Structure 1
Amino acid sequence: MTVKAILEAKGHDVVTLGPNEKLSEAIRLLAERRIGALVVTNGDRKVVGIISERDIVRVIGKEGAAGLDFIVRDVMTPKVNICNENHTVNEVMEIMTRGRFRHLPVEKDGQLDGIISIGDVVKKRIEDVEREAEEIRTYIATA
């Protein structure tokens, strides 16, 4: 299974914000949408960073309420790991595990095309394992 299959099931919608927004706006979006990360773009759908709940907790933990006025570009992770629709579920699991993060933007032709989370990947992997187990049971029953 590939990232393309995950995106076909969940859609290509991604919540983004610009690098010049305040951290308080990022927090508002995360809470409102009930998500764990935002992709930072320049409006042209080119990924320039990602900001997660973890990034925000670090700033607030260090700076307190003053951190709410920080600019996203100063808090985000600028070097973003990215995948494409041809990556397999196992490949993105490896990327996420190695990098110790839970969200992976998907690019197509150099532009943001979607985002997958570790939850999406695990769900797809479980579906694959259950399907394979059913195929084996069917094969054994008819052998």
Structure 2
Amino acid sequence: MTVKAILELKGHDVVTLGPNEKLSEAVRILAEKRIGALVITNGDRKIVGILSERDIVRTLAKDGAAALDHPVREAMTAKVKICNEYHTVNEVMEIMTTGRFRHLPVERGGMLDGIISIGDVVKRRIEDVEREAEEIRAYIATA
């Protein structure tokens, strides 16, 4: 299965925020939407960073509650790992595991096209394993 297939099932919607917004606004959105990361864009769907819960915790530990008034650009991860629609589930799992993160923006033509989470990847991988097991059972039953 590819990233394209995952996005066809889950959609291409991504919650984004500008790099000049306050960190408190990012926290509000994450809590309201019950998500773990925001893709940071300049409004043109060009990815300039990603802000995860982990980024926020590190910033709060360093600067205390005053960090909530800082712009998102000071807390975000600017060197964003991305994937495209042709990456496979196994390739994406490797990228996420190696980088130790749970959200991976999908880029198409240099612009944000979607986002996949470790939950999306695990769900699809489980579906693949269950399908393969069923195919093996069917093969054995007909042999």
TM bracket (short chain) = over 0.9
Q: CA deviation at 1:79?
A: 0.4
Q: How does 1:51-130 map to 2 (within 5 A)?
A: 51-130=51-130
The equivalences for 1:7-22 within 5 A come to: 7-22=7-22
The one-letter amino acid paired with 2:41 is T
User: What TM-score, normalized to structure 2?
Assistant: 0.99
Name the count of aligned residue pairs. 143
Partner of 1:131: 131
Percent identity of the aligned residues?
A: 83
RMSD (CA atoms): 0.5
- Following TM superposition, where does structure 1 have runs of at least 4 consecutive aligned residues deviating by more than 4 angstroms? none
Which secondary structure does the structure 2 equivalent of 1:48 belong to? Answer: strand
Unmatched 5+ residue regions in structure 1? none
Paired amino acid for 2:128? D
Once the two structures are TM-superposed, the CA of residue 61 in structure 1 deviates from its matched residue by 1.7
The 3-state SS of whatever aligns with 1:68 is helix
Q: 2:49 maps to what in 1?
A: 49
| CA deviation vs aligned residue, 1:2-36 (integer Å, no higher than 9, x gap) | 00111011100000000000000000010000000
The SS at the match of 2:105 is: strand
Question: Once the 2 structures are TM-superposed, how far is the Cα of residue 65 of structure 1 from its aligned partner?
Answer: 1.1
Q: Secondary structure at the match of 1:140?
A: helix
